[in-house]
């Protein structure tokens, strides 16, 4: 106990050091959260109409991050919390309209479609949605175009230029450092390893990508056309002639006004009868002010973190997030919560919890994953069987739910996806990297000793010999057959084509997948939750995220006190970062991030895939990563 107290004091001291230099923090925190953006003062005796203001900035994530100390500075927002606030505002009689402003936002296509649908749902309450923005690109315009009123700041640019994507190939890079990739695939379209083995896509991969891009482009065009009262051909013509300065965008009917921020606010206020205030913190919990004069006040905050109010347990829908590359084992905490990726042990435990808890009546699994380990995917699929027959299991697909991401979803009672979700990719990739030339280049010699014909099967010194290649091919074929059988069984009576005509590594959008019977409905997370609730006749229920998000301080204290669920599994950071131990590589990567951030991310993901391939050898992974401009 004395040790734990000393650790608490240490953490409190660190937090105080971080928080102390913040100027005027007491005044800032004591300021009312219902403040206007240069808004009109309202008499106390008159209840004003409320306009809710959402500023879109930072990163939109799938799963929520517990950030009790505000370490993310509001730059990480979960999609569901944002759509939930919109739904709440729609039902709030005091709220008359919503304003969206924007600076820099990282969102995926599937998230854009779901947030857009949520905005449309808000508009169906006869309340207005107003947008004021500066420069925006294709995707953010697709999101915000559904508003009732769009204003751009003078001299802003609408970068409506179409859909451009790139895929990275690192065969030449590997060869330069003496690595030769030796991989096989099950399915002509299963091109996940081509980035390692070729300089450009194969004909099958090229065909698949163009078909996919056509569908995505048509969906974006259709959304814009629907919002702005134009035909698809008119929108395509506008895209071909883009981009546009704000005045040109107004002339083309793409926006409704060119206004300064002050002019925009005046427009919104004047469009609503009576007195108006703008709420910039709608639905957010007030934090207790920190008394800088009394450093001991930090212990009050720690007490709130360590002893949060216990929610009343009532009938609930469990929400399990599967976000990122699928790997075996358990996740580990970092400063912002957990390390990237999704781990089969954590998901298995989540399903066990949901199966045992009588207050949980149904389960929704939100999948936003390009796949990963075949073994880990099988573990998660088997975990879903704990629910089958006991409680409804509904899957909601995010931006991508392909390969292993589809594998784990295929046996659900109902599958929802967005039109622009990337899914399927039913196929298998397997192999290894031969590194002999790399060691030769740096003057390192290895002497090998072998007992057993295939003792070196997965060793990286050389490519597969013929008998090993035959073994790996047989192993991969069995994995591929299992994958196809899972799909046939899980989608029994729903597939519109024979499985071999659907599989082969082919990738589809949600719209295409529905036509093939791979999913059931076009819709987002809220639709999936609503369907799950309807299956168990729930009207008054809560959503329980499993596992429950924990803040960083709680995880540290659990480790020190031995109270964590798996104390031996918890470390403070993950070490599988390919750039951590090489200062030169780290330096080059940092330069790339500044010059070409999207390409740098794609390269980084490609190298992470190399790491996964080395660990797993046989994987269920999307055939390609595409970056969009």
3-state helix, strand, coil in the chain (%, to 5): 40, 20, 40
**Within 13 Å and on the Cβ side, how many CA atoms surround 53?**
22
Residue 19 has pLDDT above 60, yes or no: no
Mean pLDDT (the chain, rounded): 76
The C-alpha atoms of residue 275 and residue 371 are separated, in whole angstroms, by 52
Q: Please give the pLDDT value at position 123.
A: 92
pLDDT digits (tens, 9 = 90+) for 317-334: 999 999 888 887 766 554
pLDDT of residue 577: 41
Q: Is residue 505 pLDDT above 60, yes or no?
A: yes
Q: Which residues contact 528 (CB under 8 A, 6 or more apart)?
A: 364, 366, 394, 395, 396, 414, 416
Specify the higher pLDDT residue, 382 or 424.
Answer: 424
- Specify whether the CB–CB gap between 430 and 617 falls below 8 A: yes
Range of weakest confidence among 68-82, 101-115, 538-552, 601-615 = 68-82
Query: Quick check: 357 and 313 in contact, CB under 8 A?
Result: no
Which pLDDT does position 607 carry in this prediction?
A: 67
Render pLDDT for 484-496 as a digit per residue (tens, 0 to 9). 999 999 999 999 9
Whether the per-residue pLDDT at 279 is higher than 60: the answer is yes
CATH 3.90.226.10, applies to 316-540+579-628: yes
* CB-based contact 83:29 (threshold 8 Å): no
Which residue did the predictor score with more confidence, 625 or 272?
A: 272
The answer to whether 385 and 486 are in contact (CB under 8 A) is: no
Taking each helix axis as running N to C, give the angle between helix 374-384 and helix 344-356, from 0 to 180 degrees, rounded to the nearest 10.
0
Q: Domain spans of the chain?
A: 32-160+242-279, 316-540+579-628
Kind and range of the H or E run holding 545 = strand 542-545
Written as one string, the DSSP assignment of 431-466 is EEEE-HHHHHHTT--------STTTTTT-TTS---H
pLDDT at 611 over 90: no
32-160+242-279 and 316-540+579-628: same fold?
yes
Residue 297 has pLDDT above 90, yes or no: no
Query: What is the pLDDT, as a whole number, of residue 81?
Result: 81
| Cα distances (angstroms) measured from residue 409 to each of 361, 364, 375, 386, 412 | 19, 11, 15, 14, 6
Question: Is there a cis peptide before residue 547, judged by omega within 30 degrees of 0?
Answer: yes
Averaging pLDDT over each range in 60-69, 347-356, 446-455, which range is the top one? 347-356
How far is 398 from 63, CA to CA, in rounded Å? 11
Contacts of 475 (CB under 8 A, 6+ apart): 430, 618
CATH fold group of domain 32-160+242-279 = 2-enoyl-CoA Hydratase; Chain A, domain 1 (3.90.226)
Cβ count near 262 (within 10 Å): 10
Closest alpha carbon to 147 in 40, 224, 232:
224
Q: So what's the pLDDT on residue 389?
A: 78
């Amino acid at each position: 106990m004395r040790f734990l107290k000393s650790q608490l004091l240490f953490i409190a001291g660190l937090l105080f050091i971080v928080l102390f230099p913040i100027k005027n923090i007491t005044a800032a925190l004591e300021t009312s959260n219902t403040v206007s953006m240069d808004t009109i003062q309202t008499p106390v005796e008159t209840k004003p109409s409320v306009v809710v203001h959402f500023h879109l900035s930072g990163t939109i994530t799938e799963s929520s991050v517990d950030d009790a100390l505000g370490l993310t500075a509001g730059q990480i927002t979960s999609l569901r919390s944002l759509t939930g606030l919109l739904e709440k505002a729609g039902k709030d009689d005091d709220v008359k309209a919503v304003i969206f402003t924007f600076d820099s936002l990282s969102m995926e296509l599937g998230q854009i479609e779901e947030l857009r649908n949520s905005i449309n749902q808000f508009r169906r309450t006869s309340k207005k949605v107003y947008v004021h923005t500066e420069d925006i690109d294709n995707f953010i315009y697709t999101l915000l175009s559904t508003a009732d009123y769009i204003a751009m700041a003078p001299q802003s640019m609408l970068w409506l230029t179409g859909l451009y994507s790139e895929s990275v190939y690192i065969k030449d890079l590997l060869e330069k450092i003496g690595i030769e990739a030796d991989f096989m695939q099950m399915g002509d379209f299963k091109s996940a390893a081509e980035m390692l083995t070729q300089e450009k896509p194969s004909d099958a991969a090229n065909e698949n990508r163009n078909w996919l891009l056509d569908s995505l482009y048509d969906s974006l065009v259709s959304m814009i056309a629907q919002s702005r009262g134009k035909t698809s051909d008119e929108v395509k013509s506008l895209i071909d002639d883009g981009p546009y300065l704000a005045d040109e965008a107004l002339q083309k009917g793409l926006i409704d006004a060119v206004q300064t921020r002050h002019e925009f606010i005046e427009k919104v206020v004047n469009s609503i009868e009576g007195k108006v205030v703008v709420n910039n913190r709608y639905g957010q919990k007030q934090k207790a002010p920190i008394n800088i004069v009394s450093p001991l006040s930090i212990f009050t905050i720690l007490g709130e973190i360590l002893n949060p109010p216990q929610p009343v347990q009532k009938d609930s829908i469990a929400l399990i997030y599967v976000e990122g590359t699928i790997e075996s084992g358990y996740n580990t905490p970092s400063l912002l919560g957990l390390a990237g990726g999704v781990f089969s042990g954590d998901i298995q435990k989540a399903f066990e919890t949901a199966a045992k808890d009588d207050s949980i009546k149904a389960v929704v699994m939100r999948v936003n994953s390009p796949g990963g380990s075949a073994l880990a995917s099988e573990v998660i699929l088997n975990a879903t069987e704990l629910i089958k027959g006991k409680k409804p299991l509904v899957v909601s697909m995010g931006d991508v739910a392909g390969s292993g991401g589809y594998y784990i979803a295929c046996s659900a009672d109902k599958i929802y996806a967005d039109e622009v979700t990337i899914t399927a990719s039913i196929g298998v990739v397997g192999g290894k990297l031969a590194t002999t030339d790399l060691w030769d280049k740096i003057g390192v010699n290895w002497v090998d000793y072998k007992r057993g014909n295939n003792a070196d099967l997965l060793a990286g010194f050389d490519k597969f010999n013929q008998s090993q290649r035959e073994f790996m091919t047989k192993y991969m074929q069995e994995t591929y057959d299992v994958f196809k059988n899972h799909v046939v069984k899980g989608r029994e009576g729903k597939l519109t084509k024979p499985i071999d005509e659907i599989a082969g590594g082919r990738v589809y959008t949600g719209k295409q997948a529905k036509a093939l019977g791979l999913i059931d409905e076009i819709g987002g997370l809220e639709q999936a939750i609503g369907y799950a609730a309807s299956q168990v006749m729930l009207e008054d229920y809560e959503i329980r995220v499993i596992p429950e998000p924990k803040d960083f301080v709680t995880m540290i204290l659990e480790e020190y006190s031995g109270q964590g669920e798996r104390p031996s599994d918890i470390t403070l950071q993950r070490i599988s970062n390919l750039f951590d131990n090489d200062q030169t590589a780290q330096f080059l990567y940092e330069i790339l991030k500044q010059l070409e951030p999207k390409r740098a991310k794609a390269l980084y993901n490609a190298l992470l895939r190399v790491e996964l391939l080395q660990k797993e050898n046989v994987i269920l992974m999307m055939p390609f990563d595409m970056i969009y401009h």
